[in-house]
């Protein structure tokens, strides 16, 4: 199940409340301990607004990397064509 960033922040906060354990919170939300700790390391010190901004930046970075890879592939194909014509 995919949770929105705001819910991830809530889950991290819930696990830190007195009387709650990480294992209990993970069971409640159907996530593994590994997922919880990965979220905590990534979003632990952020508020919801900061975490959403981070997600937007990560998505933009991924889009730009794909665009760059496509352009590099086009350049390689054109270079191969030029080499064959020489």
Largest CA distance in the chain: 74
Task: Render the burial of 23-37: b for 16+ CB within 10 Å, e for the rest.
Answer: eebbeebebeeeebe
pTM: 0.65
pLDDT category, 47, cuts 50, 70, 90?
Answer: confident
- Rounded Cα distance between 7 and 36, Å, is 12
Per-residue pLDDT reduced to its tens digit, 52-79: 898 899 999 999 999 999 999 999 999 9
């Amino acid at each position: 199940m995919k949770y929105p960033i705001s819910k991830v922040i809530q889950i991290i906060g819930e696990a830190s409340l007195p009387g709650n354990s990480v294992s209990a919170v993970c069971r409640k939300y159907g996530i593994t301990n590994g997922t919880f700790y990965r979220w905590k390391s990534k979003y632990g010190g952020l508020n919801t607004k900061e975490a959403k901004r981070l997600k937007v930046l990560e998505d933009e970075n991924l889009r730009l990397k794909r665009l760059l890879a496509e352009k590099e592939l086009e350049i390689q194909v054109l270079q191969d064509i030029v080499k064959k014509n020489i």
